[in-house]
Amino acid sequence: MKKTGILMPVSALPSTTGVGELGWASYQWIDIMKENGVKIWQILPLNPVGFGNSPYQPYSSCAGDELYISLDLLFEDRLLDKKPGKFRENAKRVDYTAVRAFKESYLREAFEKFVAGDGQKDPAYVDFTSQDWVYTYGVFRALKLDNNGDCWNDWKAEYKNWSGDKSVLSENVEKEARYQCFIQYIFYTQWMAVKKYANEAGIEVMGDVPFYVGLDSVDVWSGKDNFLLDTDGRPIFIAGVPPDYFSATGQRWGNPIYDWDYLKKNKYKFWVDRIGYSNKLFDIIRIDHFRAFDTFWKIPASCPTAIDGEWIEAPGYEVIDTLNKELPGVNLVAEDLGELRPEVLELKNHYHLKGMRILLFSIDTKGKYARDISNDIENVIFYTGTHDNDTLMQWYEGLTVAAKRKVREFLKKQGIKVGNIKDRLLTYVLKSKAEYAIIPLADIIGLGKEGHINTPGTVGSPNWEWHIVDFKKAKEELARYKNLIMNR
């Protein structure tokens, strides 16, 4: 069955607090998708963003970012005395620092009321916080705050190598850890309610799991043996990709490299736990940088760029076999973009995983006529673009006059002659053989550069800051494509 999806980060949803939340807008967005026949809501990672506000450098693979907690729902649950006022309601960019500062006092007030009302004795809360990762994450964030935000490998020894002994934690650190546990409980409760609403509306949620984890994360701090680190907790090698379309010097991500020998001895427990928890949160799990299950770019940590590195083979078959055995029915899809050796596609196809096809990279205009250089096959996800690409209209407007003419002629030859250029390009995607056609909301509403989410190889503003003020344009444009979506 063919399905249409929309890529829309939670952070970009309208709100009265300057960032998308798990409150009214999430439910309204689900209603809009349902009304127009959309069956998949693809989001970006929801984990607590770290360096550069990137969801691909989070503090945890399991935790959710407190930014997304709906203050209005906390008020409805009587955890706030007053309904919060509006803050940056009409902002077109997310100011992460300002929004965090605004929300924090309300979140801490909610925690105090929760504790005062014996909420910590609630069976649902006890059950949630009994998971191993929750308290460990709470301690990590508490110690990070107590150490002025420094990376864990700069903490003093008893904290850097904390083994679970609560006696070494100060009263303030212990209280902050409990606050962080509360935050995670609220996030989980609100998110699972949103997911349930989506599923009941016939919509699956596609989550995004980065292949690597951030160095400054609870994953590395509490599981050092899973990574190639020196005795001071610093990476010996780091992840990235060699020079490519996006960067002449490659991309030096800085994530620590996995110690695959150790992971194998432990039956890949780290991956089973990580994907297993994501499997609770999402219906479909997109593995970002899937190619690293086949081969990964290993860069000496001392190198300033990603040019100097080497491809190393990874035990992808063993890992995915283990995941399928331990997590029956897990629904994985692969981000398999870029220059790949054939073995990557063999690995993906061995497990019948859907890969990705990008319209922006498929239409070649170099010759006399434009042509589609990708294969129009069924077991794939066809995107106009991703969060890392130019928007559809940004791409088109950047073409030469001659290239634009070739694109229009190409579409005409496909029998797509009606509507403006955006309509015709979207029609081409929606009429493809691909089982899933997923379109970023920015492309649905026809945004240019202002809808660009992230530029790979760059850090900080304006990356990850895209935000919409309301759903007006989204409703109007989705309604125009409803028949196409419903009749895929």
CA 381, CA 79: separation in Å to the nearest integer? Answer: 42
Element housing 25 (H / E): helix 24-35
Q: Which of 441, 472, 462, 454 is nearest to 93 (CA)?
A: 462
Q: Do the Cβ atoms of 201 and 34 come closer than 8 Å?
A: yes
> Which residues 6+ apart lie within 8 Å of 207 measured at CB?
43, 45, 46, 278, 281, 282, 284, 285, 286
Q: Is the peptide bond before 462 cis (omega within 30 degrees of 0)?
A: yes
Q: What is the DSSP letter of 311?
A: E
Query: Does the active-site annotation cover 132?
Result: no
Q: Which of 21, 176, 219, 335 is catalytic?
A: 335
Q: Which of 141, 10, 138, 7 is nearest to 68 (CA)?
A: 10
Chain centroid, CA 30 distance in Å: 18
Place of tokens 């409703």: 475
Distance of alpha carbon 123 from the chain centroid = 30
Query: Active-site residue 35, yes or no?
Result: no
**Residue that the structure tokens 């860069």 belong to:** 299
21 flagged as catalytic: no
Q: SS3 of 186, please?
A: helix
Contacts of 149 by beta carbon, 8 Å cutoff, 6+ apart: none
Which of 95, 216, 273, 388 is flagged as catalytic? 388
User: What does residue 455 show for φ and ψ, rounded to 5 degrees?
Assistant: -110, 110
Cβ within 8 Å of residue 424, ≥6 positions away: 408, 411, 416, 417, 418
CB-CB contact of 405 with 379 (8 Å): no
For 37-192, list the strands marked E by DSSP.
40-42
Q: From the candidates 65, 66, 288, 390, give the one annotated as an active-site residue.
A: 288
CA distance 26 to 15: 10
204-210 vs 40-42, strand pairing mode: parallel
Are the C-beta atoms of 162 and 224 separated by less than 8 Å? no
* Side-chain half-sphere CA neighbours of 259 within 13 A: 15
**Residue numbers annotated as active site:** 288, 335, 388
